[in-house]
């Protein structure tokens, strides 16, 4: 039967949260802790660039061929003859009944077109982003000459028509944003979640946690510690974000345009902070469960290894899944509770659909509650009954000594 003098669950959780938040925030160690993530900034930038290249190789942009039927067929036949001997872009011949303007083809989200070939084989015109058409103009000229007669035809002059962007460019940029967001989310949770574990084990060693558990519900202790560490994390993120924002503002002229996520920057920032909170609460509740089973600080390293491996596996799973949205692997990453925040951050960068985020956040918070319930139950079972267990063990040793005597 519950003690009527105890505080309600959420009021007790807020008491613990305020206590831990103040104790950590005003400690000297926290100031040095804030300096650590600065060294990880370069890793996020490099991971974003590598992710963009990986996405392009997984779903390469294609050349849309918009020529009259005979010339289109000749161009495709020339491509088939030369593709094994020369590095060529993939092509898609657009039929005469589908003739459309190049800008509309480049903005067609159902096809990953990097450039559009129009005009004739004698006077080809190539439309697309400046970087893409500069890269493909020689290959297009070679294919046009091959389609016209091979060695007897001269390479035509390809007229270039630069456009602002294309679907292939947008997808590559959004994939870079998604990869950078996943990497940043991983680094922040990896860096900050360990504070929950060390704090719990310290208080277990000092018997403070058992005094708290005797006064308030154990679930409230776990929730309070999670919220306190989440608040401390937000302070750290505000400091690091302010420094990063200042650097980006000072160097904005050299950086050029920043890839815009599919949902837009304001909503993406809100979703990123929300998913950081759910990712932190999820892995933090796992660490609390581990802390409830660690008898000493020394044992934490051994017991926390599976959780660290889980974090790495989740990071690689989400990074792999982002290049194939809607695949079984990506859906698994969205549904699996610990990887769900990472996969949904990637979706926010790549897809404008919003209702899935509400469902995912509710799903993740449900699992936070489940993890806390399991962790607090293990703590009550393994720690709060240790005294009785110890007496039983001593009694058995006494019986053994008496039997030997």
- End-to-end CA gap in the chain: 44
**pLDDT, average across residues 253-281:** 83
- pLDDT single digits (tens) 160-170: 877 755 556 66
pLDDT at 84: 84
pLDDT at 344: 93
| Residue that the structure tokens 């999670």 belong to | 226
**Is pLDDT of 403 > 50?**
no
Tokens representing 219 are: 């679930």
Q: Kind and range of the H or E element at 114?
A: strand 113-119
Q: Which long-range contacts (CB under 8 A, 24 or more apart) does 186-189 make?
A: 186/311, 186/314, 186/315, 186/342, 187/37, 187/40, 187/43, 187/44, 188/37, 188/233, 188/237, 188/276, 188/280, 189/276, 189/279, 189/280, 189/283, 189/311
Q: Are 259 and 165 contacting, i.e. CB atoms less than 8 angstroms apart?
A: no
Nearest to 260 by CA among 157, 173, 362, 331: 173
**pLDDT, average across residues 261-270:** 89
- 4 pLDDT band, cuts 50/70/90, is very low
- 402 pLDDT band, cuts 50/70/90, is very low
**pLDDT, average across residues 273-279:** 94
**Is pLDDT of 393 > 60?**
no
- pLDDT single digits (tens) 183-241: 889 988 887 877 777 777 777 666 777 777 777 888 888 898 889 889 888 888 888 88
- pLDDT single digits (tens) 192-204: 877 777 777 777 6
- 178 pLDDT band, cuts 50/70/90, is confident
**Is pLDDT of 356 > 90?**
yes
Tokens representing 58 are: 């997984």
- In this predicted model, which residue has the larger pLDDT, 205 or 244? 244
pLDDT at 368: 93
Bridge partners, residue 92, by sequence: 64
Sequence-ordered list of residues with C-beta below 8 angstroms from that of 384, at least 6 positions apart, any chain: 210, 213, 218
Rounded Cα distance, 236 and 244, in Å: 12
pLDDT at 306: 79
What's the pTM?
0.66
**pLDDT, average across residues 237-261:** 72
Beta-sheet strand order (sheet of 113-119): 90-93, 62-65, 113-119, 124-128, 159-162
Lowest mean pLDDT among 25-34, 100-109, 385-394: 385-394
* Percentage with pLDDT > 90 across the chain: 14
**Is pLDDT of 59 > 80?**
no
**pLDDT, average across residues 76-85:** 88
């Amino acid at each position: 039967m519950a003690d009527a003098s105890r505080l309600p669950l959420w009021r007790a959780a807020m008491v613990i949260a305020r206590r831990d938040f103040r104790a950590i925030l005003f400690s000297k160690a926290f100031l040095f802790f804030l300096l650590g993530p600065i060294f990880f900034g370069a890793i996020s930038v490099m991971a974003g660039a590598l992710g963009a290249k990986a996405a392009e190789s997984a779903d390469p942009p294609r050349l849309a061929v918009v020529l009259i039927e005979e010339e289109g067929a000749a161009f495709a036949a020339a491509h088939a003859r030369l593709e094994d001997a020369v590095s060529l872009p993939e092509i898609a011949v657009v039929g005469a009944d589908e003739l459309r303007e190049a800008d509309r083809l480049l903005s067609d989200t159902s096809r990953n077109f990097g450039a559009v070939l129009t005009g004739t084989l004698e006077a080809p015109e190539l439309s697309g982003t400046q970087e893409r058409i500069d890269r493909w103009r020689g290959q297009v000229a070679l294919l046009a000459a091959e389609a016209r007669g091979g060695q007897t035809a001269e390479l035509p002059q390809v007229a270039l028509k630069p456009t602002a962007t294309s679907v292939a460019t947008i997808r590559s940029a959004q994939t870079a944003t998604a990869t950078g967001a996943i990497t940043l989310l991983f680094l922040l949770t990896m860096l900050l979640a360990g504070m929950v574990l060390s704090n719990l084990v310290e208080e277990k060693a000092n018997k403070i946690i058992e005094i708290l558990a005797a006064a308030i519900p154990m679930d409230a202790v776990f929730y309070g510690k999670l919220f306190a560490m989440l608040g401390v994390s937000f302070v750290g993120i505000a400091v690091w974000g302010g420094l990063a924002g200042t650097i980006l503002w000072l160097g904005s002229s050299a950086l050029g345009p920043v890839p815009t996520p599919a949902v837009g920057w304001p909503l993406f920032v809100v979703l990123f902070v929300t998913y950081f909170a759910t990712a932190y609460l999820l892995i933090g509740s796992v660490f609390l469960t581990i802390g409830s089973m660690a008898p000493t600080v020394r044992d934490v390293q051994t017991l926390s290894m599976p959780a660290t491996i889980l974090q790495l596996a989740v990071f690689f799973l989400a990074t792999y899944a982002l290049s194939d949205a809607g695949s079984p692997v990506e859906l698994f990453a969205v549904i699996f509770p610990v990887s769900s925040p990472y996969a949904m951050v990637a979706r926010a960068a790549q897809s404008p659909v919003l209702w899935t985020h509400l469902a995912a956040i509710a799903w993740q918070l449900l699992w936070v509650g489940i993890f806390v319930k399991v962790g607090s139950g293990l703590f009550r079972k393994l720690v709060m009954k240790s005294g009785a267990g110890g007496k039983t063990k001593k009694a058995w040793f006494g019986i053994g000594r008496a039997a030997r005597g």
